[in-house]
Amino acid sequence: MEKTLISVLLLLVAVSYTLAKTEKKDTKETKESHPKLPQTLSRGWGDQLIWTQTYEEALYKSKTNNKPIMVIHHLEDCPHSQALKKVFAEDKEIQKLAEKFILLNLVYETTDKHLSPDGQYVPRILFVGE
């Protein structure tokens, strides 16, 4: 009886181990079959909007187009940044209002003190210009 119980237990462990291995292989195959799309300047904040790459580019476009700049500071792994990004990207009214600005989003901190007048926290939205 004891040998049978040990045999059944070992069989269950072996089956569980085998199933766990095949499950891991399936997730690897899924990741490889769906390659990650290249990231745009929007970084998911609104792909239909026009984004600038640098603060200098945003300043130039701001002067030539006579529009203020909206700088969004965020981090990819910050849950608060992700929550703000979701609302910003999904809300049609916000997207419409964003068209009135020269847009720049930064996923790194800047050494420019003008871009962090009240501290370096994320997420943070800063408006520059008139």
- Could you tell me if 63 and 124 lie in one domain? yes
What is the domain extent for residue 106? 55-128
Residue 10 lies in a domain: yes
pLDDT digits (tens, 9 = 90+) for 37-52: 455 788 888 888 889 9
What is the bridge-based pairing of β-strands 102-106 and 69-73? parallel
pTM: 0.65
The residue whose two tokens read 């300047």 is 41
Instruction: Tell me how far apart the alpha carbons of residues 99 and 101 are, in angstroms, rounded to a whole number.
Output: 5
- Could you tell me if 23 and 70 lie in one domain? no
Q: Which two tokens stand for residue 1?
A: 């009886």
pLDDT digits (tens, 9 = 90+) for 64-96: 999 999 999 899 889 999 999 999 999 999 999
